[in-house]
Copies of this chain bind each other. A is one copy, B any other.
Amino acid sequence: MSRTSQATLGRRLYHPDRDEIRLESVLSALSDPIRLRIVRELARGHDDMACIAFDLPVSKSTCTHHFRVLREAGVIHQYYEGTSRMSRLREDDLEARMPGLLSAVLGAA
């Protein structure tokens, strides 16, 4: 304990490198309606968003779970800002690895 502001750094969040992002994982991450909704909101979303801003119809722990799946698949980037966890779409990385995929998903009915 002790070290006060180390904690934020201590809470490490795994993010795959750009070239570690796997198509299967991304598709799988996007195949859940709640996660799709998160991604759509992030895409519409003008700015990075805290988890709480999404107002999802699930419990807090389930929410954490879905954000983790998206992050570990490489779809979103997350970082701590005070007590909140901000999320941002990894649009550039996705576009580099699977060109057109994200926009096709967002554009679909």
Interchain nearest-CB distance for A103 vs B (Å): 7
Q: Which residues of B contact A99 (CB under 8 A)?
A: 104, 107-108
Q: How many residues of A are counted as interface, with CB atoms below 8 angstroms from the partner's CB atoms?
A: 21
Secondary structure dominating the interface of A: helix
1/0 contact string of A95-109 vs chain B (CB within 8 Å): 001111101110111
Can you name the residue of chain B whose Cβ is closest to the Cβ of A28? B31
B97 engages A101 (CB within 8 Å): no
Copies of this protein in the complex:
2
Can you name the residue of chain B whose Cβ is closest to the Cβ of A101? B104
Q: Tell me which of B100, B103, B109 contacts A23 (CB under 8 A).
A: B109
Question: Given A28-B28, A36-B24, do A98 and B109 touch, yes or no (CB 8 Å)?
Answer: yes
Interchain nearest-CB distance for A35 vs B (Å): 10
Can you name the residue of chain B whose Cβ is closest to the Cβ of A98? B108
